């Protein structure tokens, strides 16, 4: 969804959007990424769209209009992404996250179980989730990664992956 608001009179931040959504009784797990750049966009479960369209009329005292947009039209962050590559034993979410954050697989599993990992703006709580090319992974407390390419296999049947990171 995209928010249209009077930019001349109010400045909205991530915390204002999230706070307003939670004040409507929406749980944090039902809200995906909230992107605040030149425009404000956020992702949420499809069953909440009509509820939000009816109930969300003001944020920080300013009248707002909401528009439904496809995920493909989401704005990209204008941050500096770093290109990286790795060789992984499988495309399981926990295995790939382990390589990206350079921590143990146990820590990667804990992040997933605590619902701190999103794939394509949706919370994934299964460590055996299979990733694909062009998946966007958000890891709360670490940053984001975008899988740009799945390369070939090695002699030991490992997969080469190329990805971009935007980590803290």
Q: What is the CA radius of gyration of the chain?
A: 18
- The pLDDT averaged over each successive group of 10 residues in the chain (168 residues) is 90 91 88 83 85 92 91 71 93 96 95 94 92 94 92 93 88
Question: Is 106 buried (19+), middle (13-18) or exposed (0-12) by CB count in 10 A?
Answer: exposed
Nearest-CA neighbor of 123 among 1, 15, 31, 26? 31
Nearest-CA neighbor of 147 among 88, 103, 102? 88
pTM equals 0.62
What is the distance between the alpha carbons of residues 31 and 48, in angstroms, rounded to a whole number? 9
Q: What is the pLDDT of residue 166?
A: 86
Sheet holding 143-153, edge to edge: 82-88, 159-167, 143-153, 136-139, 117-119, 122-123
Q: What is the pLDDT of residue 101?
A: 94
Q: 66, 57 in Cβ contact below 8 A?
A: no
Helices 105-113 and 93-101 cross at an angle (nearest 10°) of 120
**In terms of residues, how long is the chain?**
168
| Domains of the chain, CATH where assigned | 2-73 (3.30.70), 82-167 (3.10.290.10)
DSSP conformation letters of 12-60: --HHHHHHHHHHTT--GGGEEEEEESSSEEEEE-GGGHHHHHHH--EET
Q: What is the pLDDT of residue 32?
A: 80
Q: What is the pLDDT of residue 168?
A: 66
């Amino acid at each position: 969804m995209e928010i249209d608001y009077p930019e001349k009179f109010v400045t909205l931040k991530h915390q204002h959007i999230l706070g307003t959504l939670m004040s409507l009784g929406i749980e944090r797990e039902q809200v995906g990424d909230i992107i605040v750049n030149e425009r404000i966009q956020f992702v949420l479960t499809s069953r909440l769209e009509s509820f939000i369209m009816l109930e969300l009329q003001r944020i920080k005292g300013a009248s707002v209009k909401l528009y439904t947009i496809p995920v493909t039209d989401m704005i990209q962050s204008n941050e500096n992404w770093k290109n990286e590559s790795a060789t992984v034993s499988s495309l399981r979410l926990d295995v790939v996250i382990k390589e990206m954050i350079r921590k143990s697989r146990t820590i990667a599993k804990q992040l997933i179980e605590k619902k701190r990992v999103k794939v394509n703006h949706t919370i994934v709580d299964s460590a055996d989730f299979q990733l694909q090319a062009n998946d966007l992974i958000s890891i709360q407390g670490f940053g984001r990664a975008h899988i740009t390419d799945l390369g070939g296999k090695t002699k030991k049947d490992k997969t080469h992956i190329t990805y971009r990171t935007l980590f803290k």
